[in-house]
Structure 1
Amino acid sequence: MDAYAASFDDGHLATAPTDAFPAIEGRWPGFLTGYGADRRYRVATRADDAAVPIGAALVSCDGVAAGRLAEERVGTFAGRWMLASRRALLARNLFLDRGNPFVARPRACRFAWNGATHEVALSWRALPADEAATRIAAVGGRAREAIGQRTLADGTRWLSLSGFNSDPSGPDFKALVPLIAALKADRTALARAPRIVLDLRGNNGGSSDWSRQIAAVLWGEAAVRGAEGHSEAVEWRVSPATIRAIGEYRDQFAAAPNASPDAKQWAQRTYDGLTGAAAKHQPLWRETDEPEATIPAKEQTVAPLAGPVFIVTDWGCGSACLDAVDLWRALGAIQVGQETSADTLYMDVRDTVLPSGMTRAVVPMKVYRGRKRGANQPWMPVHAYGGDLRDTAALQRWVSSLPDRGARKP
């Protein structure tokens, strides 16, 4: 099922185990690999008795070159292997065996270290779940700081935006609502900051309404309206399951007093459009924008920001996280950090538990038409970071040293 889903090369189409799925103990040869800045698979964590040192570069296994081996063992079952972000995030699985019957465990591998190539026979052993979690985190864990803001010693305003989930009962919603309210109340001081950092590390997406609200605070509603329009149209698949999913969103937003008016209107408008199309037996419903209300005079312009705005991205930034980068870059922000992930034109997922009860299928409900950013096209940083993004203090020092060049005026 994983390989079938992966064949679509679409980050919004996947299978995932439910809680009923039986636990499978992993096996490893005493080490796991990461994906280095030099695009090589290198040993990143090891047992004390492992035959390879930290940093050893994988050359081949059983005569298969490292890149091809990773694609066969991991990429086939993960998809989008053309993206550097996928290879980086999943390199840890190259030497983690969970009983996949369609691939064989390597028996001997060649590694390079200290200027020489070494042949290493692999001895596979059990890797308990608790140790596996620790080892995996050590290899390629993403930073995910609590949503909030801080002011650094040099005056930089640092906004940690590690999630955009729209569920009113979830932690992202409960943290983002007061954060955005505080930004609005402090807009005058915010505009005077020498730089503003929008930190998207750990962000897996959710709702693009959050990034739009933040943009409206920083650049003003008029500028945001001028920068929007990253696609020509949106079409939704009309089905009972899609209508049910959007109906649940509508009810959640309606019951949440702090949900933004735009989110509530979107959910109701989408639900009405889908149900209307279903009544006409139409397979697709084409979403159209509501006529824009006149922007009040006091919202036409806001005080310009004194300094640049930086966006920090990591390998995992996808979906609504990418929508945020689309909008903020269009408004003049400078992307720094790592290359992002990417998505196709299919978005907004729902999930369905399969008849076995052990697996759920995740499928998209809508498609963009004429989106400016292409399918599976990542965003590349203006300034690439070569250090460990999990080291927040080092990252902050680096960002504070960056030139303001690279920003585009809205």
Structure 2
Amino acid sequence: MLTLTGAADAPDWASALRQDAQAFHDDIATNHPGMVDTANPRFASKNDRQLALAVQRARRTREYAGYWFALRAYAAAFDDGHLEFGAGRDQVQPQLPTRWPGFLTAIDDDGRQRVATHVDWSRLPIGAELIECDGRSADALAKTNVGAFSGRWFLRAVRMEEGGRLFLDQGNPWVTRPSICTFLVETRRRSVKLDWRIIDPAERDRHLARTFSRAAEPIGMRTLPDNSLWITLSDFKGDPEGPAAKALVPLIARLTASPESLRNARAIVLDLRGNHGGSSDWSRQIARLIWGKPAVDAVNLGSDAVEWRASSSNIATLKQFAASLDASSNSSPEVRGWLGETIAGMELARMSGKPVWANVSAAKRNSVSDRSIPTLGRPVLMITDPGCGSACLDAADLWLALGAIHVGQQTSADTVYMDARKDTLPSGFGRVVLPMKVYRGRKRGSNVPLTPSYVFRGSLADTQSLERWVSEIINRLSSTRSANMLSR
């Protein structure tokens, strides 16, 4: 770790920003597949431009907020959920004092920004719609002050998840804090001069949670009153000794030991609320239990090849993961075999002086015909929320190809750069996440979300209302199926 200049209790944040921005740039240059991606010729120049911008901002950086938001902007510029900057673990993170005007807005499904939470002194009611601030439209303000530091602002899921931060002032020196805003209150416009006051972290988090809520119920299964089987899959993390594995392994064992619970169910509900991704192996195991191994193996997910950046750091990351799998009883033999093949291929490519290793066998496994996909005697419904990304999207791709019915809300999205690793930056105050591989010819396009066939307009955190709504869909599907059988 590099030592920061300045007093021990007051780090030189300009120096930290220069050091960490350079390290971020070099990590991307050395390990990211985008640097050698012929389909993305502007990637390297974007990396250079972001470094130049961060160094320029370092000249004006005096506080932690300048450091933090400059590197947040660096990562956000790539519009990639697998390329991130966050807090490091080697240093105690300074607090970002927060001010607010007594209310927070949320971005609705229709794109409008409305007051979602408030206190009395704000003088704004719940539901008041933001029109503009200081001559800037609500959309332009959110894109500049929030989107530029989160990335992927073109995605509805990101806008809904991050939009509540618009009226939180954490000292970001790279934006202008709103002063006078206009709201539509019922049918009248109201101009409000914002009164920015300190809010403590606990109260801030309580109000922020009201701007966007995600359910993340414990992994497990239960039977609904109509004999439908509801399987909650809120996490797919790949750590074999982590909480997800310790819940998924017995769940899968239980389903394997009692196949009649799947066979006799009126419908099967696969609940992905709260799932950010992890390992795609879990969704394949679940799919094999529902549709059968031949059907899962026959699905064409449409990837021409998978190319891994064959850097020494990426290889070391995969070897470390392989060691954790070998030491655990919760790991999948199939994943261990795939990992061994990948590491060997990357090492061979590196010894041969090649920047990437192309896993063509993975593409071949995913390019067989759909002839073996069976028609089940019951509907399978898949619930998603706006946070579904990475391996959660892989699960959705697979289950939809097998005939699942998509319900809930639009997902997040990911680029074709996947399988991320983490690195701590030299100062210890920051950590970056970088992808190691790129898909070639994936059916689902880069940063393209999945939209449900049945959209839930309420709060997905309200499980009871969601359950009633899902039961209505099951009834409708069952009635349609019965009518079709009678007409034959």
Whether these two folds match at TM > 0.5 is yes
Output one character per residue of 1:357-405: Cα deviation in whole Å (capped at 9) or x when no partner: 1001111000000000000000000000000100001100100101329
Q: Return the letter of the residue paired with 1:276.
A: L
Q: Which amino acid aligns with 2:285?
A: Q
Report the equivalent of 1:243: 315
Q: How does 1:345-360 map to 2 (within 5 A)?
A: 345-360=416-431
By how many angstroms is 1:129 displaced?
Answer: 0.8
Q: Give the aligned residue type for 2:322.
A: R
Ranges of 4+ aligned residues in structure 1 off by more than 4 Å? 300-304
1:113 corresponds to = 185
Paired residue for 1:8? 78
Larger radius of gyration: 2
- 1:327 corresponds in structure 2 to 398
Name 2:450's counterpart in structure 1: 379
Matched, 1:45 2:130: no
CA distance change for structure 1 residues 303 and 188 in 2, over 3 Å: closer, same or farther? farther
Question: How many residues of Structure 1 are paired with residues of Structure 2 in the alignment?
Answer: 400
Provide the TM-score with structure 1 as the length reference: 0.94
**CA drift at 1:5:** 1.2
Counterpart in the other structure of 1:297 = none
Shift of 1:3: 1.2
Q: CA deviation at 1:271?
A: 1.3
Superposed, which structure 2 residues align to 1:137-156 within 5 Å? 137-156=209-228
Q: Deviations over 1:129-182 (max 9, x none)?
A: 111111111221211001111111111111111110010121001100111111
In the aligned structure 1, how far is the partner of 2:455 from the partner of 2:80?
Answer: 25
In structure 2, the residue matched to 1:404 is 477
- Residues 191 and 303 of structure 1 are in contact (CA less than 8 Å); yes or no, is this contact kept in structure 2? no
Q: Is the 8 A contact 2:301 2:397 kept in 1?
A: no
Residue 303 of structure 1: how far off its partner (Å):
8.9
Deviations 1:247-270 (A, max 9, x none): 011111111122111111111111
Does the Cα contact within 8 Å between 1:59 and 1:111 map onto a contact in 2?
yes
- Residues 191 and 304 of structure 1 are in contact (CA less than 8 Å); yes or no, is this contact kept in structure 2? no
Q: How does 1:170-189 map to 2 (within 5 A)?
A: 170-189=242-261
- In structure 2, the partner of 1:388 is 459
- Give me the whole-angstrom Cα distance separating, in 2, the residues matched to 1:163 and 1:127: 32
Amino acid at match of 1:321: C
Instruction: Choose which of 159, 183, 196 in structure 1 pairs with 2:231.
Output: 159
Moved more, 373-382 or 39-48: 39-48
Distance 1:366 1:182 in 2: 34
Separation in 1 of the partners of 2:360 and 2:328?
Answer: 25
Name the stretch that deviates more: 225-234 or 334-343. Answer: 225-234
SS in 1 for 2:457: coil
Q: SS in structure 1 opposite 2:260?
A: helix
In the alignment, is the contact (CA less than 8 A) between 2:294 and 2:372 conserved in 1?
Answer: yes
Does 1:204 pair with 2:276? yes
Out of 363, 384, 400, the position equivalent to 2:434 is: 363
For residue 37 of structure 1, give the secondary structure of its aligned residue in structure 2: coil
**Residues 232, 369 of structure 1: 8 Å contact kept:** yes
Q: Find the aligned partners of 2:373 and 2:327 in 1 and give their Cα distance.
A: 32
Local SS of the residue matching 1:74:
helix
Query: Structure 2, unaligned stretches of length 5 or more?
Result: 1-70, 366-370, 482-488
Kindly report the root-mean-square deviation, in angstroms, between the aligned alpha carbons of the 2 structures: 1.8
2: CA distance between counterparts of 1:340 and 1:38? 15
Percent of aligned positions that are identical: 49
**Contact residue 298 and residue 373 of structure 2 kept, 8 A:** no
Q: How does 1:126-145 map to 2 (within 5 A)?
A: 126-145=198-217
Whether the 8 Å CA contact 2:379–2:405 is kept in 1: the answer is yes
Q: 1: CA distance between counterparts of 2:219 and 2:302?
A: 26
SS of structure 1 residue aligned to 2:358: strand
Which residue identity lines up with residue 118 of structure 1 in the other structure? R
Q: CA contact under 8 A between 2:301 and 2:398: conserved in structure 1?
A: no
Return the match for 1:317 from 383, 388, 412: 388
Task: Note if contact 2:295-2:374 (Cα within 8 Å) is conserved in structure 1.
Answer: no
Give distance in 2, aligned partners of 1:173 and 1:233.
Answer: 28
Q: 1:108-129 CA distances to partner (integer Å, 9 max, x unpaired)?
A: 1001122111001100011111
Q: Contact (CA 8 Å) 1:250, 1:271: kept in 2 or not? A: no
3-state SS of paired residue (1:163): coil
* 2:113/2:130 contact within 8 Å kept: yes
* CA deviation profile, 1:57-90 (whole Å, cap 9, x unmatched): 1000011000011000001111111111111001
Alignment check: 8 A CA contact 1:192 1:306 kept: no
- Distance, in Å, in 2 between the alignment partners of 1:254 and 1:34 is 45
The structure in which a higher percent of residues are helix is 2
Deviations 1:181-222 (A, max 9, x none): 111112123122111111000100001010011000000010
Helix, strand or coil at the partner of 1:289 = helix
Shift in Å, 1:306: 2.8
Q: CA deviation at 1:48?
A: 2.3
- Partner residue in 2 for 1:23: 95
Contact 1:34 1:140 in 2 (8 A): yes
Counterpart contact for 2:230–2:269, Cα < 8 Å: yes
- Report the Cα distance in structure 1 between the residues aligned to 2:144 and 2:373, rounded to whole angstroms: 53
User: Per-residue deviation at 1:316?
Assistant: 0.6
Structure 1 counterpart of 2:5:
none
* Structure 1: segments with no counterpart, 5+ residues: 293-299
Structure 1 contact 227–327 (Cα < 8 Å) conserved:
yes
- SS of the residue aligned with 2:443? coil
Work out whether residues 192 and 305 of structure 1, in 8 Å CA contact, stay in contact via their aligned partners in 2. no
Offset at residue 309 of structure 1 (A): 0.5
> Is 1:232 paired with 2:304?
yes
**Larger deviation, residues 301-310 vs 277-286:** 301-310
